[in-house]
Amino acid sequence: MNIDRYTCAEVFARLDDYLDRELDSAEVDLVRQHLETCEKCSSEYRFEAGVRENLKTRLRRIEVPTSLTAKVRAALSDQDATGSG
C-alpha cells in the first residue's frame, strides 16, 4: 500500500516517536508534511516538544558532590583490600 499522506490520528499515534527521533526517514517525512499543513497538530507538536525540552533542560541541572569520586574510590579500595573484589 502506497501511503502518501497521514491523517491527524496517524500523526498523533506517531507523535512520541517523532519527537524522540525514533521514526524512520519515510515516516518522518510524512509526519512533517502533515505538520506543515495542519495547524491543530502543529500546535500540539510544538507544545509537547516544548514540555520535553523544558523538563530535560531543568532535570539535567544537578550539582554533583565533589566528594563523590573520593568516596567511591575509597569504597572500591576497601573492597579490594578485603578480597571481595
Binding site for other proteins (CB under 8 A): 12, 16-17, 20-22, 43-44, 46-52, 54-56, 58-62, 64-65, 68-69, 71-72, 75-76, 79-80, 84-85
Nearest residue to 45 via CA among 28, 61, 24, 60: 28
Of 29 and 75, the one with the shorter C-beta distance to other proteins is 75
Scanning the chain, the segments in alpha helix (DSSP H) are 8-13, 15-19, 25-37, 39-59, 68-81
Of 4 and 61, the one with the shorter C-beta distance to other proteins is 61
CB of 40 to other proteins, least distance (A): 10
